[in-house]
Amino acid sequence: MKILLVTPYMGEVYGGIPRTVVGIAKGLVRLGIAIDIITTNANNFCKLPIPLNVWIEEEGYRIKYFSCFNKNDFIISSSLIGWILNNVQSYDIVHTNTLFSPLISVIHWTCKAYQVPYVITTHGMLEPWALSYKVWKKKLYYSLFEKFALQSASTIQFCCETEANNAKALGWNQPTVIVYNGIHHEDFEIPPETELLFDEFPSLKNKNIVLFLGRIDPKKGLDLLAPAFAKVHRHFPQAHLIVAGPDNTGFSSTAQSYFLQAGCINAVTFTGLLTGSLKYAALAAASIYVAPSYSEGFSMSVLEGMASGLPCVITTGCNFPEAAKADAACIVDTNVDSISDALAKYLGNLEQAKELGNRARQFIFQNYTWDVAARKLLQVYTAILNQQPLPKF
């Protein structure tokens, strides 16, 4: 079986999709599946310094980057399109990632024309909040392009049950599957050195760190987190908030203004994008993880926070009710008081917070790894190729 994974971007500034694609690739390779990835060199306001138009061997899979034109989230690549026209028939299945992307739309049309089955992972792009953002553009694009693409797919993969249920309201009846995102167990086995973080940001030492890890974006709920953390900080002056993540839409100045208006900007550090050892050091140094999002497909950062053994305060918009049922995370309504009350609860009782974090870590390791996700996807691919009913997970 030969699978082609497609994403418009692999730069870390774009959040969870690149990590998801790599996670799935590694998991499928472990099952003996041949995996290729094609993408572009887009990297927000610049380009990735990476060789183009050649296969790069990674950990068992190959990846090829193509030059592109990109502005914000708009990405198009004539060289990638030319390559897909010439090579798509050499793959058994094409698996695309994201929607509302002209580049991905062309690939869907190409697969349809050459009768190559394709799978779409929506990554939260059909969530109500996501659809309401730039609503008129998305309504038009959906009517002209995405509805056809979804109806023609062999299946649509959702990353959680809530996302699948919300998408049903759009009025198409294409087969769907739910396959959760995951983590690599080995990434969280060895505790990282927290000193890496303190060497970079000395003012954070001896603080009770609350960690936000995600893109600086309107949907992430920083307008809620600012007044919520301000309330908490008045009672817990040793608390310090890290806002760690890339800004690929120019939203950072607005986000910082929320904390300035709330009166707690001096207790907040905007670190920009944290990667590699520095990101894991931040996870290890934190006392609490917080995700105040209005909308998520299925957050990779939440999984990383839980796998790191952190007590996680996340909103209902994160679409993870399973964590609440397992008593593995604190899930709250998407409002200021609910967020602040939960943060205060765990800052006031760090032992209780640690117990929640331990349950979170075990819960993720048992249920949300890329090996589990890859086994499920392999069943999906096999059913498509054999023209059998899709598995129910």
146-177 confidence digits (pLDDT tens): 888 999 999 999 988 888 888 877 877 788 99
Q: Which backbone phi and psi does 62 adopt, to 5 degrees?
A: -115, 150
Query: Both 191 and 151 in a single domain?
Result: no
Instruction: With cut-offs at 50, 70 and 90, classify the pLDDT of residue 86.
Output: very high
Provide the domain limits for residue 196: 187-366
Grade residue 237 by pLDDT with cuts at 50, 70 and 90. very high
Question: Do 229 and 336 fall within a single domain?
Answer: yes
Classify residue 391: in a domain, yes or no. no
What global pTM score does this model have?
Answer: 0.85
How far is it, in rounded angstroms, from Cα 256 to Cα 223?
Answer: 9
% of the chain surpassing 90 pLDDT: 74
Torsion of CA 269, 125, 295, 331, to 10 degrees: -110
Quote the pLDDT of residue 144: 85
pLDDT at 174: 80
Q: Which residue has the tokens 């599946």?
A: 33
Overall domain count for the chain: 2
User: Same domain for 116 and 168?
Assistant: yes
Please give the Cα distance from 286 to 274 (Å, whole number): 14
Mean pLDDT of 108-127: 94
Assigned domain for 105 exists: yes
Distance of CA 83 to the CA centre of its chain: 27
CATH number of the domain enclosing 200:
3.40.50.2000
- Contact status, residue 207 vs residue 239, Cβ threshold 8 Å: yes
In a domain, residue 393? The reply is no
Question: In this predicted model, what pLDDT tens digit does every residue of 4-39 receive, in sequence order?
Answer: 999 999 988 887 899 999 999 999 999 999 999 999
CA–CA distance, 191 with 80 (Å, rounded to integer): 40
What's the whole-number mean pLDDT along residues 208-216?
A: 94
Q: Is residue 321, in this structure, part of any structural domain at all?
A: yes
Per-residue confidence band for 184, with pLDDT thresholds at 50, 70 and 90 = confident
Indicate whether 214 and 115 sit together in one domain: no
Are residues 146 and 242 both part of a single domain? Answer: no
Kindly state whether residue 154 falls inside one of the protein's structural domains. Answer: yes
- Same domain, yes or no, for 154 and 221? no
Q: Note the pLDDT tens digit of each residue in 268-313.
A: 999 999 988 899 999 999 999 999 999 887 888 999 999 999 999 9
213 in the same domain as 121: no
Whether residue 236 has pLDDT greater than 90? yes
DSSP string for 204-235: GTTSEEEEEES---GGG-HHHHHHHHHHHHHH
- Determine the pLDDT at residue 305: 95
3-state DSSP assignment of residue 96: strand
Task: Based on the fold, state whether residues 241 and 356 are members of the same structural domain.
Answer: yes
- Shared domain for 352 and 377, answered yes or no, is no
DSSP class of residue 59 equals: S
Whether 79 is in a domain gets the answer yes
pLDDT at position 45, please?
79
Q: Indicate whether 326 belongs to any domain.
A: yes
Domain identity same for 255 and 141:
no
Q: How many CB atoms lie within 10 A of CB 157?
A: 24
Q: Do 226 and 358 have their domain in common?
A: yes
Per-residue pLDDT, averaged over 72-96, amounts to 95
Give the pair of three-digit tokens for residue 207: 């603080």
* 230, part of any domain: yes
| Residues 260 and 203 both lie in one domain | yes
